[in-house]
């Protein structure tokens, strides 16, 4: 990327070119420790880092122009396009009543206790794969499935673990997931091939998780049968079931090799047609004018706009990475890795795992962690002829493993907030402490050792 243009000269050499990213990471850690780990705050942290970096560069004019050119970097623009289109698509499916329809299926199949917990894991996985949104899955399923599952005798911590695990599975595997697309983009490869090559890891972790949910998912309902019937009647509705079709269409299209943007457009069109034909989701719900205030609203619009803060953050971090590379820091790191840790293919893969793990600990948004580490991982895999599918899989699977259960992860924070709201509505619902639900996020817990073993044994490895 920057090797074909003039490098930037920093006072203090290559080490000071890391200032923009280092300031961002330090500020983000401070946000995490104060409980304010919000994307908007991280946007300001990235802006601050890039601004402070100008103090150390020898030519402020060249630095400024490089910032402008880096904002147009393909990795950043791919991420932004992904988020906008995927946000619109997931907004449509989330508002179509699909979650309530899945509750209805469980109710009618008379799933209770551990079987309901297992069903929630499978259903939330399917929903997350369809929408590509782990956070959207947690919000939708916790709101409806958590109280319904307690009514049906599921073990509450295991039930939340099933929802979080399904969200992680979808985030890990969905062709329209931001993590899938960004991991492929940073490694300069195609989404469809990445998903096909990732299936073996994801399905192994999912199969083990199914067994664990079946063993530990049961409990005993403390809810009055009359109240239970009333709650299920209130939340269960089969109307939205046809909206599984657009999700299936997108998955098949993307895995078949169609470009993710084309697959998303086909999915949005399929959702519009399915919703209109069945009457589930009238076209005016996608985009509508608010007669009172004259403003626009709608599921597609709200879904896309919700992605704007993280899109801006991605562009800023791609820029910070580019400045670091232009200043020579990545060359310094690569040289150090070649001389010490990364002396073989296995060692290079281990270095990628270590780097993405550290990034996920510091940055509570897994896609942003991949944007940060992706360029260095790409250079490592090229040096050792590691296939781009392999390096993309290492980035994505690690980012959907233990980071999904960190106490400051976005999905954990969202789940706690929804539980608190539900506790105000239902006497039988309680807010689970992090320590009680984290051990039940089986998919994320199992996925990490699966990938460590893959690195050690070479399972799934092939040359690029």
Residues 9-64: tens digit of each pLDDT: 999 888 898 899 889 888 888 887 777 767 788 889 999 999 999 999 999 999 99
Percent of the chain predicted with pLDDT > 90: 26
Cβ neighbours of 277 (radius 10 Å): 10
Q: Answer yes or no: is pLDDT of 291 > 60.
A: no
Q: How far is CA 203 from the centre of its chain?
A: 18
> Quick one: pLDDT band at residue 302, thresholds 50, 70, 90?
confident
CA dihedral 41, 43, 48, 49 (to 10 degrees): 120
Q: Answer yes or no: is pLDDT of 294 > 60.
A: no
**Mean per-residue pLDDT for 300-313?**
80
pLDDT value at residue 161: 95
| Mean pLDDT computed over every residue of the chain | 84
| Long-range pairs for 62-69: beta carbons < 8 A, 24 or more residues apart | 62/6, 62/8, 63/8, 63/323, 66/8, 66/322, 66/323, 66/326, 67/319, 67/323, 69/5
Q: Answer yes or no: is pLDDT of 289 > 90.
A: no
Percent of the chain predicted with pLDDT > 70: 92
Residue with tokens 């490098």: 7
pTM: 0.78
Q: Which two tokens stand for residue 464?
A: 């690029």
Cα-Cα-Cα-Cα dihedral sign, residues 67, 68, 71, 73: negative
């Amino acid at each position: 990327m920057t090797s074909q243009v003039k490098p930037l000269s920093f006072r203090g050499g290559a080490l000071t070119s890391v200032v923009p990213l280092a300031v961002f990471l330090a500020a983000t850690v401070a946000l995490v420790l104060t409980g304010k780990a919000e994307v908007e705050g991280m946007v300001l942290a990235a802006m601050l880092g890039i601004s402070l970096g100008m103090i150390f560069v020898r030519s402020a004019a060249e630095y400024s122009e490089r910032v402008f050119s880096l904002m147009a970097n393909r990795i950043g623009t791919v991420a932004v396009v992904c988020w906008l289109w995927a946000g619109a698509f997931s907004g449509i499916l989330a508002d179509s009543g699909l979650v309530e329809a899945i509750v209805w299926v469980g109710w009618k199949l008379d799933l209770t206790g551990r079987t309901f917990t297992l069903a929630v894991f499978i259903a939330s996985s399917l929903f997350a794969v369809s929408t590509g949104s782990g956070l959207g899955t947690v919000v939708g399923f916790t709101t409806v499935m958590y109280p319904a599952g307690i009514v049906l005798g599921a073990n509450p911590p295991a039930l939340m673990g099933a929802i979080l695990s399904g969200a992680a599975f979808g985030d890990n595997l969905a062709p329209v997931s931001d993590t899938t697309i960004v991991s492929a983009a940073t490694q300069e490869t195609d989404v469809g091939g990445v998903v096909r090559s990732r299936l073996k890891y994801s399905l192994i972790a999912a199969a083990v998780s199914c067994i664990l949910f079946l063993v530990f998912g049961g409990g005993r309902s403390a809810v009055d049968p009359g109240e239970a019937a009333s709650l299920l009647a209130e939340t269960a509705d089969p109307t939205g079931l046809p909206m599984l079709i657009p999700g299936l269409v997108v998955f098949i299209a993307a895995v078949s090799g169609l470009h993710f943007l084309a697959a998303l457009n086909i999915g949005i069109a399929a959702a519009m047609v399915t919703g209109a034909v069945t009457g589930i989701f009238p076209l005016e719900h996608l985009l509508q004018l608010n007669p009172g205030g004259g403003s626009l609203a709608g599921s597609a619009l709200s879904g896309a706009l919700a992605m704007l803060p993280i899109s801006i953050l991605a562009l800023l971090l791609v820029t910070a990475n580019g400045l670091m590379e232009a200043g020579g820091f990545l060359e310094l790191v690569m040289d150090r890795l070649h001389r010490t840790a990364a002396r073989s293919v296995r060692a290079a893969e281990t270095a990628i795992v270590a780097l993405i793990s550290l990034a996920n600990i510091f940055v509570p948004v897994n896609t942003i962690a991949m944007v940060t580490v992706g360029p260095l991982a790409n250079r490592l895999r090229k040096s050792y002829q590691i296939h781009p599918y392999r390096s993309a899989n290492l980035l994505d699977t690690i980012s959907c493993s233990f980071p999904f259960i960190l106490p400051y992860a976005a999905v954990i924070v969202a789940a706690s907030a929804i539980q608190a709201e539900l506790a105000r509505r239902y006497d039988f619902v309680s807010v689970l402490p992090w320590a009680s639900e984290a051990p039940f996020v089986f998919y994320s817990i199992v996925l990490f050792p699966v990938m460590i073993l893959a690195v050690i044994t070479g399972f799934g490895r092939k040359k690029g």
